Amino acid sequence: MLPLIDRHGRIATDLRVSLTDRCNLRCTYCMPPEGLEWMPDSQQLSDDEVVRLIGVAVRHLGVNEVRFTGGEPLVRRGLVDIVRRVRALDEDVEMSITTNALGLSRTAGALAEAGLDRVNVSLDTVRRDSFTTITRRDRLADVIAGLAAAEAAGLGPVKVNAVLLRGVNDDQAPELLGWCLERGYQLRFIEQMPLDAQHGWDRDLMVTADEIFASLATAYRLTPASEPRGSAPAELFTVDDGPATVGVIASVTRPFCGDCDRVRLTADGQVRNCLFAREESDLRAALRGGADDADLAARWRTAMWGKAPGHGIDDPSFLQPDRPMSAIGG
């Protein structure tokens, strides 16, 4: 098996698969209130095609972790079946979803039974008014129910991802951490990145990892966790005397590109070697044109080889990718 290695020596083993660009929330930092022009069904990979490409990644390219994302992966009708088929391909591959948890209270059991290992739930606040302001939907109670259902179904450890927005929820970091600690959820804060469809990101306005840390330190004693970080994006801190931890993903102010082990497949079958890549490789066309698995694997390796050393957000020549986060898969 030849792995997905790039010219800088990094090996990608963690595959993020976007199953749709559609979402049932409208988070202000992600998309406009009216949503976006969604991808036509004919462009989207079918369930068979998704499973086939994941099979190539797992069997030919050394991928050992698959994370379904979107858009919102729970709105993909075939999700449970896709999970079941990927589990049948390989019983050891670590499989998770990143989700807003709307509807998870109904599907958590079926997902666990199909072979899903874990969930990452995005939740930026536990205040109903802030939630409604950020997501433009009054659905906090559904998210909380989804989290509880995931935990009950054995899809743990449940991780919670949060983005802080200046003047909206940037004063709520300790409160959100306290809420997660009470329930045994692992919280990680993510710096806001220039990936919104409206191109409204502003470096001077984003809440930095240092600010997040300072805010948490007003209520908790944080010490750098002893476990090695490896390729994990989050810097982990032990909270008070532990064992609970909190993570901060400083994608902008402390990039970790040198340790990146991720590769992305969009819902329309394009390989992206980086969230911020400006080029993609069209596996869907090859697949629909009759390419066999070895050919698809070779194309995938070529796509990875050219991965840039870093995302270059701080470079004056930085250009935001054409696709927003929701169409890449976060």
Query: Locate tokens 């470096």: which residue?
Result: 203
107 binds ligand SAM (CB under 6 A): no
Nearest distance in Å: CB 91, ligand SAM: 25
Nearer to ligand SAM, 139 or 307 (CB): 139
Three-state DSSP state, 159 = strand
For ligand SAM, the binding residue among 20, 100, 270, 273 (CB under 6 A) is: 100
Cα–Cα separations (whole angstroms), residue 299 to 43, 56, 63, 71, 266: 19, 11, 15, 25, 15
29 binds ligand SAM (CB under 6 A): yes
Beta-carbon contacts of residue 214 (< 8 Å; ≥ 6 apart): none
Nearer to ligand SAM, 175 or 295 (CB): 175
Furthest-apart CA atoms within the chain: distance in Å: 59
Nearer to ligand SAM, 32 or 62 (CB): 32
23 binds ligand SAM (CB under 6 A): yes
Tokens of 104: 């998870």
Per-residue x/- track, 63-82, ligand SAM (CB under 6 A): ------xx-x----------
Tokens of 234: 């989050």
Nearest distance in Å: CB 317, ligand SAM: 20
Whole-angstrom distance, CA of residue 20 vs CA of residue 199: 21
Whole-angstrom distance, CA of residue 187 vs CA of residue 179: 10
261 binds ligand SAM (CB under 6 A): no
For the chain, what is the radius of gyration of the CA atoms? 19
Strands 222-224 and 186-190: unpaired
Q: Which residue from 175, 136, 106 is spatially nearest to 25, judged by alpha carbons? A: 136
Per-residue x/- track, 174-203, ligand SAM (CB under 6 A): ----------------x-xx-xx-------
125 binds ligand SAM (CB under 6 A): no
Binding residues for ligand SAM, rule CB under 6 A, total 20
Is the separation of the CB atoms in 119 and 150 below 8 Å? yes
For ligand SAM, the binding residue among 105, 122, 169, 215 (CB under 6 A) is: 122
Nearest distance in Å: CB 49, ligand SAM: 20
Residues constituting the chain? 330
Is the separation of the CB atoms in 22 and 73 below 8 Å? no
Tokens of 296: 């698809």
Nearer to ligand SAM, 200 or 258 (CB): 200
Whole-angstrom distance, CA of residue 3 vs CA of residue 168: 43
Which listed range, 55-63, 95-103, 288-296, 298-306, lies at the site for ligand SAM (CB under 6 A)? 95-103
161 binds ligand SAM (CB under 6 A): yes
What's at 295, amino acid-wise? D
- Find the residue with minimal CB distance to ligand SAM: 330
Nearest distance in Å: CB 226, ligand SAM: 27
Nearer to ligand SAM, 164 or 296 (CB): 164
For ligand SAM, the binding residue among 15, 144, 163, 297 (CB under 6 A) is: 163
Binding site for ligand SAM (CB under 6 A): 23, 29-30, 69-70, 72, 98-100, 122, 161, 163, 190, 192-193, 195-196, 325-326, 330
